[in-house]
């Protein structure tokens, strides 16, 4: 008989990049099942407006906070206010990201460090900052957004692809250390998802890659969000150290 898990954690979740795209959709998906959310974003106004909308739509605690995830000093001041606003924290979702178009020639020590800090180092600093909370709350879990580009490679955005590759490897290592504490950690690698990160490249991408997506279309942010929500729930109680593709089949597509 299939066991229906009705006791998934109702703890709060910190969602970085919560002002837009996949982060915003994830915060809404979590709030829809009663989980309080703290939206951390460099776009303070956007995060606060989104949190207000989520609180009024879903009737859960929600807060928007200004945090620059590239800044190693930026995380700890936001921790206590997040706890105060949304209660016990049992989840982290790291969605904040940018894809700097540099090619090889455009890489500098500064933009390299910034990209690695934002995508990869932040997973470490966020988990360290909430380690006591995660250990204390049964069913706690972390999800870091990686990308199909970590596997494909992409000459336009080498800092981004390297950082996402680091995320995949880092999460496997962290899964080992976190497991004895009852904390799971996984990556979600989206394919081409229709969010502002695609920018002006979007239309060209549709022409170049659209046919290769087995499901025949770009994805929507809420289709990624529902998978993230699953990974944060007890429905995913035996899933850790995994990379889950949410890409409409493009990574394994052999279509020309
Ligand atoms: N959309 C896609 O096709 C796609 C594909 C693969 C991976 N991803 C990944 O998914 C995640 C979410 O992307 P999205 O599509 O929702 O993009 P998005 O541009 O809609 O949202 C990204 C959010 O991150 C915030 N942000 C950027 N830099 C930040 C910083 N230094 N500190 C704090 N916040 C910062 C932005 O303000 C924005 O709200 C990213 O990690 C991205 O790399 C997206």
Can you state the angle between helices 122-129 and 158-178, rounded to 10 degrees?
Answer: 30
Domain with 139, as residue range(s), is 12-246
Quick: pLDDT tens for 63-100: 999 999 999 999 999 999 999 999 999 999 999 999 99
Query: Do the Cβ atoms of 37 and 25 come closer than 8 Å?
Result: no
Q: How many helices (H) and strands (E) does the chain have?
A: 10, 7
Q: What are phi and psi of 188, to 5 degrees?
A: -115, 125
Residue 3 lies in a domain: no
CATH, residue 56? 3.40.50.720
Task: Determine the Cα–Cα distance for residues 251 and 214; give it in Å rounded to an integer.
Answer: 9
Expressed in angstroms and rounded, the spacing between residue 208 Cα and the centre of ligand 1 is 22
Q: Is the pLDDT of residue 215 over 80?
A: yes
Residue 255 lies in a domain: no
Report how many domains make up the chain.
1
Task: Determine the Cα–Cα distance for residues 148 and 99; give it in Å rounded to an integer.
Answer: 13
Which residue in 32, 43, 30 sits closest to 143, CA to CA? 30
Task: Determine the Cα–Cα distance for residues 167 and 114; give it in Å rounded to an integer.
Answer: 14
Residue 75 lies in a domain: yes
Expressed in angstroms and rounded, the spacing between residue 183 Cα and the centre of ligand 1 is 24
Quick: pLDDT tens for 172-190: 999 999 999 999 999 999 9
Query: Is the entire prediction scored with pTM above 0.85?
Result: yes
Q: Is the pLDDT of residue 5 over 70?
A: no
Task: Determine the Cα–Cα distance for residues 81 and 64; give it in Å rounded to an integer.
Answer: 10
Q: Which of the four pLDDT bands, split at 50, 70 and 90, describes residue 200?
A: confident
Cβ–ligand 1 contact at 247 (below 6 Å) = no
The one catalytic residue in 40, 58, 160, 218 is: 160
Residue 4 lies in a domain: no
Residue 160 designated active-site: yes
């Amino acid at each position: 008989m299939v066991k229906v898990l009705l006791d998934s954690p109702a703890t709060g979740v910190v969602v970085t990049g919560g002002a837009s795209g996949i982060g915003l959709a994830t915060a809404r998906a979590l709030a829809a099942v009663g989980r309080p959310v703290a939206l951390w974003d460099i776009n303070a106004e956007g995060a606060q407006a989104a949190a207000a909308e989520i609180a009024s739509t879903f009737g859960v605690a929600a807060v928007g906070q200004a945090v620059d995830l590239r800044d190693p000093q930026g995380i700890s001041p936001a921790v206590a206010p997040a706890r105060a606003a949304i209660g016990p924290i049992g989840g982290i979702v790291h969605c904040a990201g940018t894809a700097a178009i540099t090619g090889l020639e455009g890489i500098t020590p500064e933009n390299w460090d910034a990209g690695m800090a934002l995508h990869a180092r932040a997973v470490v600093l966020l988990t360290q900052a909430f380690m006591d909370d995660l250990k204390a709350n049964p069913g706690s879990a972390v999800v870091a957004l990686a990308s199909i580009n970590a596997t494909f490679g992409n000459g336009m955005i080498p800092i981004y692809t390297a950082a996402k590759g680091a995320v995949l490897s880092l999460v496997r290592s962290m899964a080992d250390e976190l497991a004895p504490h009852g904390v799971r950690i996984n990556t979600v690698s989206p394919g081409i998802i229709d969010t502002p990160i695609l920018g002006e490249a979007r239309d060209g991408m549709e022409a170049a890659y659209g046919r290769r997506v087995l499901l025949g279309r770009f994805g929507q942010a809420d289709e990624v969000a529902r998978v993230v929500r699953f990974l944060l729930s007890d429905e995913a109680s035996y899933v850790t150290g995994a990379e889950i593709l949410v890409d409409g089949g493009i990574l394994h597509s052999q279509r020309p």
